[in-house]
Amino acid sequence: MQEYFVAKKTDFGEGDRRIVRAGGSEVGVFHHGGAYYAYANTCVHSGGPACEGIMIPRVLDVIAEDRSYQGQVFSDEMHFVCPWHGYEYDLKTGECAGDRRLKLRKYQVVDRDDSIFVIA
């Protein structure tokens, strides 16, 4: 295992993301909610750049007790979306929102000496 430099903490603000080369792989590194998350930038569907799409809170359908549709709301769960075909991934787990059995490879992130590194 080797460490790869991502960014200085001062250059990697809340809500930012970086795509870095880690060995022979691309890794998407996210800074959200004061934490850092890193995943393989390869979608489980067709190999697209999973970590490069939009970030959006999970959308929930609101269903009343009588089973009627009441609209939609955003949850606290943040997702990122592969730009090729729209596969959504949970930012905290890397799980595919449509099928939680599928997930991106997760990488360890190290916060040291005012810099962020990923281990691959």
Q: What's the pTM value of the predicted model, to 2 decimals?
A: 0.89
Q: DSSP letter for 52, please.
A: G
Cα separation, 93 vs 104, in Å, equals: 8
The larger pLDDT score, comparing residue 80 to residue 1, is at 80
User: In the chain, what are the domains?
Assistant: 3-119 (2.102.10.10)
| Confidence tier at 1 by pLDDT (50, 70, 90) | confident
Using an 8 Å Cβ cutoff, are 100 and 77 in contact?
no
Write the pLDDT tens digit of every residue in 26-49. 999 999 999 999 999 999 999 999
Using an 8 Å Cβ cutoff, are 79 and 91 in contact?
yes
pLDDT at 7 over 90: yes
